[in-house]
């Protein structure tokens, strides 16, 4: 009998494993990188929400823990959760589904609708994860640049679509450009092609509202959202989506049961106390305005408007050195590299005022040293 030694080398399996090995998820790369940091750094690189009151979150979590019976599968809790999210989004409960963070749901949509030979389209610059996950799936990714004013180039997107194009990713507000796209453009895309439009609204609470209530009227739009940003719960891993009933109920049937009864109960409680979360969102917006104004007053820097909890700014030619200078002084922001349309940019999360002041003062110092050198 053939010796089934693992070292035998099964070519198709090796090929898939190698594709997985080269993949760096956002969380994996973050874990690796955080090990290299000192403990007293100011971290403004991952768009987490420091304004979320941790004591309030813990107390609400404890209320949920006391209420649920973790010995049981409890479908009624999932129903309560979908109902609460539906009320929050102003859609019907049948239009809502849940998962473990929006990245999980984005990946689930990719797995469900893309096979080898299919094509997905992403705007650029945008969230890098779409491209990585599409390629991991063995499908092709086509990119279309935003216009100079950072709006969607609807004509160009449509020209780049074929009957092989199954998904179009539209991140709105967009990471990293910070702007939100018009419903008119999103609707035109949905009506003019047969692809499923995946609208990623991770940052929508910091912007000018959601497209959810209109999107559920369309057959080919799914809006993916998260509790990692406005609700300050990146570590909780909770995401949800809204789509027309036909699509949402089909997706909900096949998504594995990943949201625990405890998390479901906690999320329902938080939605019932949304006025508290609204306060955090308002604080982020207020601080964002101040941060943008002070950044914009610095020479050599061009600041992009933001409908999110981060601010992106251009520092062509010097971005790497400035980034490194900040890192050496314990301020961690995100080096976006040289991007299409917007050039070489850095991105900073809106932190507490003392964090932002520290960042701004250090940036001023690093730039002074850099430009006088
Ligand atoms: N979409 C965008 C645009 C993001 O920036 C991020 C994370 N930064 C995600 C999705 C993933 O968020 P989650 O924590 O819900 O997986």
**What's the CATH number of domain 22-51+276-372, 3.90.1150.10, 3.40.50.300, 3.10.105.10, 1.20.120.1750?**
3.90.1150.10
pLDDT digit string (tens) for 310-358?
Answer: 999 999 778 999 999 999 999 999 999 999 999 999 999 999 999 999 9
Residue 213 has pLDDT above 90, yes or no: yes
Predicted local distance difference test score (pLDDT) of residue 2 = 53
Q: How far apart are CA 162 and CA 111, in angstroms?
A: 20
Does the CA dihedral 136-343-291-329 come out positive or negative?
Answer: positive
> What dotted CATH number matches 54-272?
3.40.640.10
Is 344 strand, coil or helix? strand
Q: Which of 93-102, 311-320, 358-367 has the lowest mean pLDDT?
A: 311-320
Of ligand 1's listed atoms, the one at least distance from the Cα of 101 is 15
**SS3 state of residue 187:** helix
**CB 365, CB 326: distance < 8 Å:** no
CB-ligand 1 contact for 152 (6 Å cutoff): no
pTM greater than 0.85 (yes/no): yes
Tell me the per-residue pLDDT of 60-83, one tens digit each, with 9 for 90 and over: 999 999 999 999 999 899 999 999
Centre of ligand 1 from the C-alpha of residue 373, in Å:
38
Ligand 1 atom, smallest distance to 234 CA: 14
- Give dist(CA 354, CA 359) in Å, integer: 9
Share of the chain above pLDDT 70, in %: 94
> Would you state the pLDDT for residue 29?
55
CA distances from 322 to 29, 60, 173, 315, 347 (A): 22, 41, 26, 8, 12
**Beta carbon of 171 within 6 Å of any ligand 1 atom:** yes
Q: Which of 99, 169, 175, 235 to mutate to test the pocket of ligand 1 (most atoms within 8 A of CB)?
A: 175
Closest protein CA for atom 1 of ligand 1: 202
How far the first Cα of the chain sits from its last, in Å, is: 71
Distance 131 CA to ligand 1 centre (A): 14
pLDDT level of residue 278 (50, 70, 90 thresholds): very high
Which segments of the chain belong to CATH 3.40.640.10? 54-272
Q: What is the pLDDT of residue 22?
A: 80
- What pLDDT score does 30 carry? 57
* Residue among 27, 226, 227, 231 whose CB has most ligand 1 atoms within 8 A, to mutate: 226
Three-state DSSP class for residue 270 = helix
The predicted structure's pLDDT at residue 19: 84
Q: Average pLDDT for residues 137-147, to the nearest whole number?
A: 96
The proportion of the chain whose per-residue pLDDT surpasses 90, expressed as a percent, equals 84
User: What integer is the mean pLDDT of 284-290?
Assistant: 98
Mean pLDDT of the chain: 93
Helices (H), 124-182: 129-136, 154-159
Domain with CATH 3.90.1150.10 in the chain: 22-51+276-372
> Would you give the DSSP letter of residue 219?
S
What's the average model confidence in pLDDT over 295-312?
96
Q: What is the largest CA-CA distance in the chain?
A: 75
Distance CA 198, CA 140 (A): 16
* Range in 39-43, 106-110, 198-202, 250-254 the model is least confident about: 39-43
**For ligand 1, atom 2: residue with the closest CA:** 202
Q: By C-alpha distance, which of 45, 43, 41, 124 is closest to 347?
A: 45
Is the predicted pLDDT of residue 40 greater than 90, yes or no?
no
- 372 pLDDT band, cuts 50/70/90, is confident
pLDDT tier, 15 (very low <50, low <70, confident <90, very high otherwise): confident
């Amino acid at each position: 009998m053939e010796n089934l030694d693992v070292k035998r080398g099964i070519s198709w399996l090796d090929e898939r494993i190698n594709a997985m090995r080269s993949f760096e998820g956002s969380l994996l790369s973050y874990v690796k990188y955080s090990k290299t940091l000192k403990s007293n750094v100011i971290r403004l690189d991952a768009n987490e929400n420091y304004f979320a009151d941790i004591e309030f979150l813990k107390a609400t979590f404890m209320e949920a823990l006391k209420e649920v019976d973790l010995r049981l599968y409890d479908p009624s809790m999932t129903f309560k959760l979908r109902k609460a999210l539906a009320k929050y989004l102003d859609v019907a409960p049948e239009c809502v589904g849940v998962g473990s963070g929006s990245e999980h749901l984005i990946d689930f949509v990719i797995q469900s609708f893309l096979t080898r030979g299919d094509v997905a389209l992403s705007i650029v610059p945008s969230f890098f994860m779409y491209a990585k996950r599409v390629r991991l799936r063995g499908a092709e990714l086509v990119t279309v640049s935003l216009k100079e004013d950072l709006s969607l180039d609807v004509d160009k997107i449509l020209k780049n679509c074929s009957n092989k194009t199954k998904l179009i990713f539209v991140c709105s507000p967009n990471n990293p450009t910070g702007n939100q796209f018009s419903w008119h453009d999103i609707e035109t895309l949905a009506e003019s092609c047969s692809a499923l439009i995946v609208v990623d609204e991770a940052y929508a609470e910091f912007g000018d509202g959601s497209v959810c209530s209109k999107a559920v009227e369309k057959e080919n739009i799914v809006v993916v959202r998260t509790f990692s940003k406005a609700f300050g719960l990146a570590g909780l891993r909770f995401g949800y989506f809204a789509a027309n009933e036909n699509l949402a109920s089909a997706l909900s049937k096949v998504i594995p049961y990943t949201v625990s009864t405890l998390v479901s109960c906690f999320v329902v409680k938080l939605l019932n106390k949304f006025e508290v979360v609204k306060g955090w969102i308002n604080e982020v917006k207020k601080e964002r305005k101040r941060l943008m104004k002070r950044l914009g007053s610095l020479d050599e820097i061009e600041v992009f408007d933001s409908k999110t909890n981060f601010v992106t700014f251009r520092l062509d030619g010097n971005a790497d050195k400035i980034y490194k200078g900040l890192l050496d002084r314990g301020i961690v922001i995100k080096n976006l590299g040289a991007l299409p349309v917007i050039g070489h940019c850095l991105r900073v999360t809106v932190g507490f005022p003392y964090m932002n002041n520290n960042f701004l003062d250090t940036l001023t110092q690093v730039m002074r040293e850099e430009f006088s050198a």
